[in-house]
Amino acid sequence: MKLVWVVLFSLLLIYPIGAATATEARQQLRLTLPPIMGSLPIVLGYEWGIFHDHGLDVQLKGLVDQESRIAALRAGRIDGMVTDLTTAILAVLDGIDIVITSIAFLAQNGAGLALLTQYRTGITSIADILGDFAAGDERARIHLSHLSNIHFQTDQLLTQLGFDIYRAANYQFWTDMVAMATNFAFMPRWVPAVVLPEPYISFLVYFIPLRIRGAKIIVLADFLDIEPVPSVIVFRREFMQQNKEAIQRFHIAHRLAITRLNATSVRELLDLGVDVVVEMFFPGLDPGDPREVPPAVIAQLTIPYFITPTLPTLASFTAVMDWLIAAGHTRDRITYDAIITDLFVR
């Protein structure tokens, strides 16, 4: 389990704004970070003082769901954010003038994503949750994040398995991944199957059976053969044009944070705030009670390796763009160069 999220959310709660001293002489960057792996190096870089040391006053704005993050970006209440490539493309198509400045995280070999169900739902195969159901029939749906990398990769998975996604896909869409995971854990009747990334997968597999008698999380499919799509860092174009030096400093600090993260032990990361994280993901669990969160489970946690930031490949960009058009999510096409800049990762 990639429990690098331990630090991510504890720090977002404890440190909602940037440094309180010497901010006058520092360039302010207002960022919002979703609960995904790509946000981790930024939070750690903030906690370790790396951004501060590079003359930046980074302010981390906690926003609940994807809709809130997009709305804040559109209104100019934030300067940039971590998001997935699919969301970034759609934001531009929706008239938000942003640019992708680097990759935030790219899972290795497609790992870190899975289609899950619970033993109590009676679902034994993917076919059980597909098909032509009547309108309003909630018997079985795949719950996932709408128009996201996860949505794109799930369509790819089902197609690879031989399903006609335009006839068989039976989805229920969410904008709040934490809420979706929580409902899946405790109300499987209403959320029978989900597609989630790490660390949600491992949390559900290891923690929930300890909380709920008879619960058993089943992995119906992994995405090991599906090409991963990166999460990315985006900034509003106007802000980038007016603050190129600050964004350059940000990316230098970001690379240093990744280098340090890759060399940091799991134990050190866990020491930074597992209590707050468990309470935030699944309210009701007592992270201080070893009966609910056994140390043996924590000991299984691992962290992913973060590659040196680069840019999304043209192949990844084109695959997502083609999918958006083929699936009818947009009629327009934008080019790779229109949304991606190499100014900061050359």
Q: What is the pLDDT of residues 79-113, one digit of tens each?
A: 999 999 999 999 999 999 999 999 999 988 666 89
pLDDT of residue 298: 62
Average pLDDT score over the chain: 83
Check whether 156 has a pLDDT greater than 60. Answer: yes
CATH architecture of 5-106+229-283+304-339: 3-Layer(aba) Sandwich (3.40)
pLDDT of residue 152: 96
pLDDT of residue 1: 38
Give the helix/strand (H/E) hosting 9.
helix 5-14
pLDDT of residue 177: 87
CATH 3.40.190.10 intervals, the chain: 5-106+229-283+304-339, 109-222
Lowest-confidence pick of 59-68, 148-157, 226-235: 59-68
CA quadruple 57, 44, 110, 128: dihedral, nearest 10: -90
pLDDT band of residue 270 (cuts 50, 70, 90) is low
Q: Which two tokens stand for residue 199?
A: 């660390």
Average pLDDT over residues 270-285: 53
**What is the model's pTM?**
0.85
Average pLDDT over residues 297-315: 82
CATH architecture of 109-222: 3-Layer(aba) Sandwich (3.40)
Give the helix/strand (H/E) hosting 143.
strand 142-145
Cβ atoms within 10 Å, residue 20 = 7
Backbone angles phi, psi at 117, to 5 degrees: -140, 180
Q: How far apart are the first and last CA of the chain?
A: 32
- Backbone dihedral region for residue 162 (phi beyond 0: left; psi -120 to 50: alpha; all else: beta): left
Check whether 216 has a pLDDT greater than 70. Answer: yes
How far from 123 is each of 254, 269, 318, CA to CA, in Å? 43, 36, 35
Sign, CA torsion 88/89/95/97: positive
Alpha-carbon gap, residue 268 to 142, rounded angstroms: 36
Check whether 288 has a pLDDT greater than 80. Answer: no
Average pLDDT over residues 213-239: 93
> Where does residue 192 rank: exposed (0-12), middle (13-18), buried (19+ CB within 10 A)?
buried
pLDDT of residue 19: 39
